Structure formats: C-alpha cells, structure tokens
Amino acid sequence: MAIDDLLDEHEQSERVRGWLRKNGVSIIAGVAIAIGGITGWQWWQKQQGNELANANVQYQAVLKQLQDKKLDEAAKGVKALEGGKSSLYADLAAMQLAKAQVDAGQNDAALATLRAISAEPEFKAAVDQRIARLLIAGGKSDEAIKQLGAASDSASLEIHGDALMAAGKRDEARGQYEKALKTLDVAAPQRRLLEIKVMDAGGTVTDPAESA
C-alpha cells in the first residue's frame, strides 16, 4: 500500500473521529428519542387498551343493572362512562338506558337521556330518530320533524311521515312514506309495515317487480 494511501486512510479516520466527537451527543440523543418514542407509543397503546377494557367492564355493569331494573344505578353508570375516553360505550349505554326508561313508562327521563348524548356520527341518526319518536308520542310532532332535519334515510323519512300523520297532515305524510319506500330495499323486513302506512295515508303500493 502506498504512503499516500495510508495518509488518506489516516486523514479519513481522523475526520470520522472528529465528526463523531462533534456529533456523537446528538446521535446518542436521537437514538434515545427514537427509543423513547417507541416506548411512549407502546405505553400509550397499553393505556388505551386498559381504558377500553375498563369501559367495557363498566358497560357490562350498566347492562346488568338495567336487566335488574335498577335504572337509577344504571344512570349513574352511564354518567361514569361519559367521563371516560370511550364515547362509543357511553353512547351505547345511554341508548340502552333510554330504552329501559321507555319500557318503564319514563318517557321524559328517556328523552333527557337521549338528548344528553354527544353522539358519534355513526350513532347520531339513531339517536335523532329515537328522540323524534318520543316527541311524537308526547304530541310534539313539529319538534320531532325539526329533530330529524334533512335526514333522507328510510327510517327518518318514515318517522317524518309518522309525525305528519300524528299532526293530521295525511297527504304530506303519504309523500314521506312513499319516499321512504323508494329508498328501502325490496327484501327489507320492515317494508310490509311501511306499505301499510302508505295505504293508510291514502296511497297505493306498486309491486317492485312491476315498477322495475
């Protein structure tokens, strides 16, 4: 090996040592941050898992209380779930509580329970529909229609029709029922009931096969 090559290697090694002396601390810090980030992520995942597990336990406890007709205790359990990070369990528990309250003849309490739900998007329509049904049962058809807003799914349109029928607006109700029928799958189990509502409102039902 030539002297020049040795000098080049020596120079290169010195440069590497110098770069390490200069940047070694930041490299070690970077590695530490990376490791810390991984550890932190694993800790966060574990925490989330623990919270979900606890929320599930609380949710099951609420269901047991509802089964035992202990509505006051179940209501407290729902409140406890609302304070956690698992809004899904809180929404489900509140909806189950509202159903039990309706079954117990506590419609006003059920309405308050449903209105307190900060529903996730996938649950909002179901919550609005239940509120609307309770409003109709309480003779508040106009409020029920406002609660449904511009919802255009079959269930919401049907409930809108129910509200109009309750208000004595038969022709308008028929229009809502017919819209609902058009958006409903031919094989849907609730289709027959909706057809009956259309006919009760003065409409006629066409066989889907004929209109195809």
| Tens of pLDDT, residues 137-190 | 999 999 999 999 999 999 999 999 999 999 999 999 999 999 999 998 888 899
pLDDT band at 2 (very low <50, low <70, confident <90, very high): very low
What pLDDT does 1 receive? 45
What pLDDT does 4 receive? 45
Higher pLDDT pick, 100 / 122: 100
24-53 mean pLDDT: 54
Query: Which residues, other chains included, contact 152 with Cβ-Cβ below 8 Å and sequence gap of 6+?
Result: 179, 183
> Nearest CA to 198 among 163, 168, 167, 162?
162
What pLDDT does 210 receive? 52
Ranges 4-8, 84-88, 144-148, 198-202: which has the least confidence: 4-8
What pLDDT does 132 receive? 96
Q: Is the pLDDT of residue 41 over 50?
A: no
Q: Is the pLDDT of residue 11 over 60?
A: no
Q: How many percent of the chain have pLDDT more than 70?
A: 71
What pLDDT does 44 receive? 39
* DSSP 3-state percent helix, strand, coil across the chain (nearest 5): 80, 0, 20
Q: Is the pLDDT of residue 55 over 70?
A: yes
100-105 mean pLDDT: 94
φ/ψ bin of 131: left (φ > 0), alpha (ψ from -120 to 50), beta (otherwise): alpha
**Cα–Cα dist 123/92, whole Å:** 9
Higher pLDDT pick, 123 / 86: 123
Contact assessment for residue 154 and residue 184, using Cβ atoms and an 8 Å cutoff = yes
191-210 mean pLDDT: 84
φ/ψ bin of 122: left (φ > 0), alpha (ψ from -120 to 50), beta (otherwise): alpha
Helices 71-82 & 87-103 angle (0-180, nearest 10) = 160
Task: Return mean pLDDT, the chain.
Answer: 80
